Amino acid sequence: MPESFDLSKLDEVLSHYRGERGALIPVLQEAQNVYGYLPEEVLRRISRDLKVPLSKIYGVITFYAQFYLTPRGKHVVKSCQGTACHVRGAKGVLDSLCRELKVEPGGTTEDLRFSLETVACVGTCFLAPVIMIDRDYYGKLTPKRAVDALKKYSPDGKKEEA
């Protein structure tokens, strides 16, 4: 049974863009801001309203890395796998995060608390190996310290309501 979404907020977004050329990408961005990702039901409504075939919408979504077709975690963990981090043990850090969260890179935990991603360089090579959790940087990590960083974002952790 597909999940049902309150489409009234989407209708507000669509009403701003109706009849405008080039509306698809801004509509997708705003829809993702509303729902956190782009569920099929939302895409079908956008397709109907903007008169853009669903296949074309999926083509746009898969082209741009900023769009998500599945729910994302409340917190996004980015594990840097760039060269500086790689030579300082980023693989071990990533493995420990995968084990702790029980997800592969690109995955989201069942409780929707964390999504885990890999990135090429977050621009703080002097802190290698680095992870980011939301907007926070954690550097000079060991696998254990990376897992400890996650704990701040658990339900009783300090960052939960940040």
**Residues lying near ligand FES in the complex (CB under 6 A):** 80, 82-85, 121-125, 128, 130
d(CA 145, CA 158): 16
Which residue's beta carbon is nearest to the bound ligand FES? 82
User: In the complex with ligand FES, which residue's Cβ is closer, 20 or 134?
Assistant: 134
User: In the complex with ligand FES, which residue's Cβ is closer, 94 or 103?
Assistant: 94
Q: 28 near 67, Cβ under 8 Å?
A: yes
User: In the complex with ligand FES, which residue's Cβ is closer, 134 or 160?
Assistant: 134
CB of 142 to ligand FES, least distance (A): 15
Q: 147 near 96, Cβ under 8 Å?
A: yes
d(CA 111, CA 84): 32
CB of 116 to ligand FES, least distance (A): 16
52: left (phi over 0), alpha (psi -120 to 50) or beta: beta
CB of 106 to ligand FES, least distance (A): 18
